[in-house]
Amino acid sequence: MAKSDQTWGITPPISIALPTPAETKSTHLLLEELRRQNTFESVTETKKRERVLADLQRMADEFVKRVAREKEPQNEVLIRDARGEVFTYGSYCLGVYGPGSDIDTLVTAPRYVTRDDYFKYFPSLLQEMAPEGAVTDLTVVEDAFVPIIKFEYWGISIDLIFSRIATLKQFPPHGQLNLTNNEYLRGLDDRELRSLNGTRVTKEILNLVPEQSTFRLALRAIKLWAQRRAIYANIIGFPGGVVWAMMVARVCQLYPKAASATIVTKFFQIMKVWQWPIPVQLKHMDDGPLNVRVWNPKIYKSDSYHLMPVITPAYPQMCATFNITHSTMTIIQRELERGAELTDKIRAGKLAWNDLFVKHTFFTTDHKYYLAVIATSTTKEAHKIWSGFVESKVRVLVGDLERVASVAIARPFNKGYERQHRVKNDQETQEVQNGSLAYLARDDENESEVKKENGVEIKTEVKTESNPEVMAENGDPMSLSIKSDPEDQKAKVEDIPDVSSLGTKVYTSTHYVGLELAEGARSLDLSYQVNAFKAMCSQWEKYEASLNYLSIQHVKNTNLPDDVFEPGEVKPTRPLRKVAANGTPAPVGQKKRNASSEVNPPPAKRPQPLQTSAAAAG
């Protein structure tokens, strides 16, 4: 059967119509807009990536040879033919990478090469075989969920993982090893299976779409849209790159001959009305050679709790969206509905494609109340580990918050903000730990870095204010309280080292969670949820009280720091004071008659560790 005539996916196509002239023109306009949005990399930069991968392949071959010499020094044939194989996965493998994208890379080796060998030899090989100065920021994480070596090579971020192929003692010539063969999964442990999974899933996605060029252009558009709308981050509870790829691929299967612009339009039309929890699947479930768990909500109760299941096509099939919460699902559905409205107008010629890619308004207009989850460390090395762990658990806090009756939605922002501070004493350290930005390192020291969308860094003066009360939606004051467990607070205070051991630099990563209050909410006490989250994080086996700290603060929209806003964005401001009948300005927070009297007192100017009694005018 010809590829163009086969049935794609698990159902027949909705339409096999060829593109109309208008749809072809719209696709050209979409391509032009994506180029204007700088989503394509230059030929020079792409060639640079190819050279990096060629270098990694040389290192992989040398790595396997060294292990062969150590383990079987008399086996000349084994040593002579010893080789590894480097694969990519993620955006590079899919062909949708852009400027600044990292390269997700997998090193595979024959069965006699172990993960311990990988971490013993490969980091030093990188330094030895790479050109001088090419490798920077080398970090080895052996006990991660997927063990990894992270580094930059000529300025390109590389995530390098490893798996052996236990069924092969010698690899075929380069380019002939096909990882989609399920037999190569035999004899592997869970970490090796997870390492192979990225490449296997990516290859399967490409094999399961009718036209790869159509798929790639449509996926570039959806990825840009999701990034601009701040709904792109698997670790936080939104779909990641592979999930958006599978969703776009499913639409391509339903419209196998459509143009990319049509796929984008149909993506929103179909996904906004998708009957979750019916899963998005690109193929029927495979039987494989292993006695391992595959996604099946009829057998496994936990699988039935997945809200928006998108199932990976490679055996063993898994749900790639288990992180999605009720709040993030609601935000995704809102954005899909918005996207459907916009693409309908684009198709009708009433709007242009750039209207689809307008930036989110998370900080400017979406919320009045936020929680700031602040992970603090006293060394750069400790902060990489601690901040990464806290980031991976933010979705747990979100899940707890959205179960509070007064909270309608707890929406996490999809990126964290990295800051560095210089402090002179213990008091300043405590202020930084509890959210103060008064001691940011100077810009000319090149020590302040903020994770911004599309690689943009904004460094501005930060102003802080104290605010007496939180205002409800109707303008009446409401109470918002976050109180620390006294025992928890006592333990933490004792653990804070003095400035002599701290040095002068403190590192923070801040994740913001926007709160939408339930209708009629008059007070909000999040003490239990906040303290439970802190306790969970502090019980992590790698937590060190002398190095790590966690604070959760309430921040109102008018008190958000300047560095979360990009040039041209309008920071929320206090409402104008009302004029009383006698002509004098009335206090902003003045209560209406019969309004609730439950209001928190103003917070202290210098917050104490592990405590936020937040009240802000709204």
- 29-36 long-range Cβ contacts below 8 angstroms, 24+ apart: 29/261, 29/352, 29/353, 30/217, 30/221, 30/260, 30/261, 30/264, 30/353, 31/217, 31/260, 33/352, 33/353, 33/354, 33/357, 34/217, 34/220, 34/221, 34/224, 36/354
Q: What is the structure's pLDDT at 441?
A: 87
Q: What is the pLDDT of residue 241?
A: 95
A 10 A CB-CB count for 580 gives: 11
Decide: helix, strand or coil at residue 391.
helix
Mean pLDDT of 199-220: 97
319 close to 295: Cβ distance less than 8 angstroms:
yes
pLDDT of residue 101: 94
Sign of CA dihedral 162, 165, 168, 174: negative
Tokens standing for residue 529: 């949820």
pLDDT level of residue 523 (50, 70, 90 thresholds): confident
User: What pLDDT score was predicted for residue 484?
Assistant: 55
What lies within 8 Å, CB to CB, of 117 at 6+ separation is 63, 67, 109
Kindly state the average pLDDT of the residues 11-26: 96
Q: Which of 439-443, 469-473, 555-559 is modeled with the greatest confidence?
A: 555-559
pLDDT tens per residue, range 274-305? 999 999 999 999 888 888 889 999 999 999 99
- Chain segment 348-383, per-residue pLDDT in tens: 999 999 999 999 999 999 999 999 999 999 999 899
pLDDT at 580 over 70: no
CA distance linking residue 551 with residue 549, whole number of Å: 7
Confidence band of 597 (pLDDT split at 50, 70, 90): very low
Q: Which residues are catalytic?
A: 91, 102, 104, 159, 223, 232
- Give residue 268's pLDDT: 98
3-state helix, strand, coil in the chain (%, to 5): 40, 15, 45
Residue 611: pLDDT above 80?
no
- Say yes or no to pLDDT of 482 above 90: no
Q: Which residues are registered as beta bridge partners of 8?
A: none
Does 439 have pLDDT greater than 60? yes
pLDDT tens for each residue of 157-204: 999 999 999 999 999 999 999 999 999 999 999 999 999 999 999 999
Region 539-563 average pLDDT: 95
Residue 98 · residue 221 · CB < 8 Å: no
**Is residue 380 a contact partner of residue 547, using CB atoms and an 8 Å limit?**
no
Q: Is the pLDDT of residue 591 over 90?
A: no
Q: 412 — phi, psi (to 5°)?
A: -80, 140
**Residue 416: strand, helix, or coil:** coil
- Look at residue 145 in the predicted model and tell me its pLDDT: 83
Whole-number pLDDT of residue 480: 63
Given a cut of 70, is residue 612 above it in pLDDT?
Answer: no
User: pLDDT-derived band of residue 6, with 50, 70 and 90 as boundaries?
Assistant: confident
- Quote the pLDDT of residue 478: 53
| pLDDT at residue 594 in the model | 36
pLDDT band at 107 (very low <50, low <70, confident <90, very high): very high
- Mean pLDDT within 496-511: 69
- The identity of residue 305, as a single letter, is Y
Residue 374 pLDDT? 98
Structure confidence at residue 475 as a pLDDT band (50, 70, 90): very low
Average confidence (pLDDT) over 213-220: 98
Decide if pLDDT at 98 tops 70: yes
The backbone torsions φ and ψ at residue 420, rounded to the nearest 5 degrees and listed phi first, read -125, 140
- For 328-345, write each residue's pLDDT tens digit: 999 999 999 999 999 999
> With bands split at pLDDT 50, 70 and 90, how would you rate the model's confidence at 600?
very low
Residue type, 234: N
For the stretch 56-82, pLDDT in tens is 999 999 999 999 999 999 999 999 999
In the predicted model, is pLDDT for residue 139 greater than 90? no
Q: Residue 575 pLDDT more than 90?
A: no
pLDDT for the residue 461: 29
Distance, in Å, from the CA atom of 37 to the CA atom of 352, rounded to the nearest integer, reads 13
State the chain's mean pLDDT as an integer. 86
450-477 mean pLDDT = 36
CA proximity to 396, closest of 425, 373, 420: 373
Q: Is residue 1 over pLDDT 60? A: no
